[in-house]
């Protein structure tokens, strides 16, 4: 049974997730110039490389070994391990497939100030917030897999100058995102018992939507 709280949680990204952002809409319509797409890939790398950092901050707050075992997998999903190159390496390959230089991506040069602030916002929420708030903020991932499927189709159709091998990040992430958001949702539903806790979870998820939106605002207005 879907509780009122769960419906309230799902309604936040429904209205405010970046799948509705004009930059993403233009991406899906095939309207982005190669330079705009490269700016997005380079700046989104700053977000990607901080995902395992924020997950390590969450991990440090979990006192139950079973929960830590669950959460630590998120770090290796990005950093790699056990024969898997990991999501960060796959994102670097996406950059190379789009004509970016790996050393430039790794250097962090060209990351826009607004993107830095948005990413700092997420890391700091996970550093200073409760585990409930930090896990609730990750629930934008309820919507990410569908967005990625749309993105893969748009890249294959409109941006054929990007080598197809570069899409491996998104292909892998669709399944990981579904699994991660299912796990995060059951944790949030079981942890948020009082109305105050439920409201804190909704506020954290709203804030995450805002920071992803702000990130794309910065990319959209990047100087040419």
Ligand X SMILES: O=C(O)c1cc(C(=O)O)c2c(n1)C(=O)C(=O)c1cc(C(=O)O)[nH]c1-2
Residue 43 interacts with ligand X (CB under 6 A): yes or no: no
Measured from the CB atom, is 39 or 138 closer to ligand X? 138
Measured from the CB atom, is 46 or 173 closer to ligand X? 173
Least distance between ligand X and beta carbon 78 (Å): 7
CA distance 137 to 17: 12
Residue 138 interacts with ligand X (CB under 6 A): yes or no: yes
Q: What angle do CA 58, 146, 138 make, to 5 degrees?
A: 15
Measured from the CB atom, is 91 or 198 closer to ligand X? 91
* 15, 77 contact by CB (below 8 A): no
Position among 136, 147, 192, 218 found at the interface with ligand X (CB under 6 A): 147
Closest CA to 154 of 44, 35, 32, 68: 32
* 95, 102 contact by CB (below 8 A): yes
Measured from the CB atom, is 102 or 171 closer to ligand X? 171
Q: Which residues in 171-210 contact ligand X (CB under 6 A)?
A: 173
Residue 37 interacts with ligand X (CB under 6 A): yes or no: no
Least distance between ligand X and beta carbon 147 (Å): 5
Complete DSSP assignment for 154-185? HHHHH-TTS-GGGGHHHHHHHHHHHHHHHHHH
Residue 144 interacts with ligand X (CB under 6 A): yes or no: yes
User: In the complex, which residues of this chain contact ligand X (CB under 6 A)?
Assistant: 51, 138, 140-141, 144, 147-148, 173, 212
């Amino acid at each position: 049974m879907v509780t009122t709280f769960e419906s309230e949680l799902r309604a936040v990204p429904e209205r405010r997730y970046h799948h509705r952002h004009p930059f993403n809409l233009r991406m899906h319509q095939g309207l982005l110039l190669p330079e705009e797409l490269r700016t997005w890939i380079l700046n989104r790398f700053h977000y990607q490389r901080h995902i395992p950092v924020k997950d390590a901050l969450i991990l440090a707050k979990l006192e139950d070994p079973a929960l830590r075992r669950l959460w630590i997998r998120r770090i290796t999903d990005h950093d790699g391990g056990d024969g898997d190159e990991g999501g960060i390496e796959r994102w670097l390959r996406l950059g190379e497939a789009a004509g970016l230089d790996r050393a430039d991506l790794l250097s962090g040069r060209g990351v826009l100030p607004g993107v830095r602030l948005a990413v700092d916002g997420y890391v700091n929420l996970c550093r200073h917030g409760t585990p409930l708030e930090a896990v609730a903020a990750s629930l934008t991932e309820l919507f990410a897999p569908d967005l990625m499927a749309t993105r893969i189709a748009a890249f294959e159709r409109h941006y054929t100058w990007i080598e197809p091998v570069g899409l491996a990040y998104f292909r892998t992430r669709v399944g990981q995102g579904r699994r991660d958001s299912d796990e995060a949702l059951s944790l949030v539903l079981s942890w948020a018992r009082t109305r105050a806790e439920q409201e804190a979870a909704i506020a954290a998820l709203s804030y995450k939507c805002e920071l992803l939106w702000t990130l794309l605002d910065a990319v959209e207005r990047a100087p040419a």
